[in-house]
Amino acid sequence: MIFETHAHYDDEKFDTDRVELLSSMKEAGIGHVINVGANMKGTRESIHLAHEYDFIFAAAGVHPDDAPRMTEADIEELRKYGADPKVVAIGEIGPDYYWEKDPAIREKQIYWWKRQMDLALELDLPVIIHSRDAAEITMEVMKEYATKGIRAVIHCYSYSAEMAKEFVKLGYYIGVGGVVTFKNGRKLQETVCHIPMDRILLETDSPYMAPEPYRGKRNDSRYIPEMVKKIAEIKGISREEVEDITWNNAFDLFRKAKEWNI
């Protein structure tokens, strides 16, 4: 069975066939899904989905696109969600310097990212990190929080293999998505080659980042076997081993999910 650690089934791209699609997951070998909040609305919808479907968990958090406009009331609301039995992580949170060029707004991203990191520590929940074109600040902040004992996955990992090894040394997991199947996905393939199997998590970021041969189409968790195939090839192990190890990795990081493992 596959543990999908990062999807956005609340996205409007699933409005036409959400129920049908989610009902077909088990049959396609998808045992669990974490639906990740990207803003307050997405967080509420993720929790709603997690309550509706046994196999879905939720992550509560605000992505850097919206984080600069967060308020104390949002932190309070996220704190309340942390107590929900199906909320297994805070995320997705982090810096995005690709879309945001204004230094003052970048500073706000970092401020609210750290506030959500502090909240995760307080709630004893792991964090799902979104980081784009911001390698240096991400390493700096993740080093600081490693000393505080935070648990984390660097989702949709896009930096160097060298840096991945450093994140692994800090105790973090690396989220591997559809890019690993791309012809120009060499950097991520190299990362997979250089980090231990017990630090890899499977994820899609659906509806985005569909793997080959579906590249450019709407993504969903049923395409994960394409990533499994590629990782098995790189690591020289069987597809079953990739599924089993990443399944256990997900439960090691998202501990609260263990109570629901059916």
Q: Which of 8/222 has CB closer to Ni ion?
A: 8
Q: Segment contacting Ni ion (CB under 5 A): 54-62, 199-207, 222-230, 253-261?
A: 199-207
Distance CA 208, CA 217 (A): 8
Distance CA 164, CA 246 (A): 17
Q: Which of 60/234 has CB closer to Ni ion?
A: 60
Distance CA 102, CA 13 (A): 30
Largest interatomic CA distance in the chain: 49
- Which residues inside 44-83 make contact with Ni ion, applying CB under 5 A? none
Distance of closest approach, residue 193 Cβ to Ni ion, in angstroms: 24
Q: Which of 100, 203, 205, 220 binds Ni ion (CB under 5 A)?
A: 205
DSSP 10: T
Distance of closest approach, residue 6 Cβ to Ni ion, in angstroms: 6
Q: Which of 205/220 has CB closer to Ni ion?
A: 205
Distance CA 3, CA 253 (A): 12
Q: Segment contacting Ni ion (CB under 5 A): 111-119, 200-208, 240-248, 252-260?
A: 200-208
- Measured between its terminal Cα atoms, the distance across the chain in Å is 11
Distance of closest approach, residue 236 Cβ to Ni ion, in angstroms: 30
How many residues touch Ni ion (CB under 5 A)?
A: 1
Distance of closest approach, residue 80 Cβ to Ni ion, in angstroms: 22
Distance of closest approach, residue 34 Cβ to Ni ion, in angstroms: 10
Q: Which of 62/242 has CB closer to Ni ion?
A: 62
Q: In what order do the strands lie in the sheet with 87-93?
A: 2-7, 30-36, 56-60, 87-93, 127-129, 152-154, 173-176, 200-202
Helical residues (DSSP H) of the chain, grouped into ranges: 18-23, 40-52, 72-82, 103-123, 135-146, 161-169, 186-194, 224-235, 239-253
Whether the Cβ atoms of residue 6 and residue 128 lie closer than 8 Å to each other: yes
Q: Which of 177/234 has CB closer to Ni ion?
A: 177
Does 96 sit near Ni ion (CB under 5 A)?
A: no
Distance of closest approach, residue 9 Cβ to Ni ion, in angstroms: 11
**Cis? peptide before 213, omega within 30° of 0:** yes
Binding residues vs Ni ion (CB under 5 A)? 205
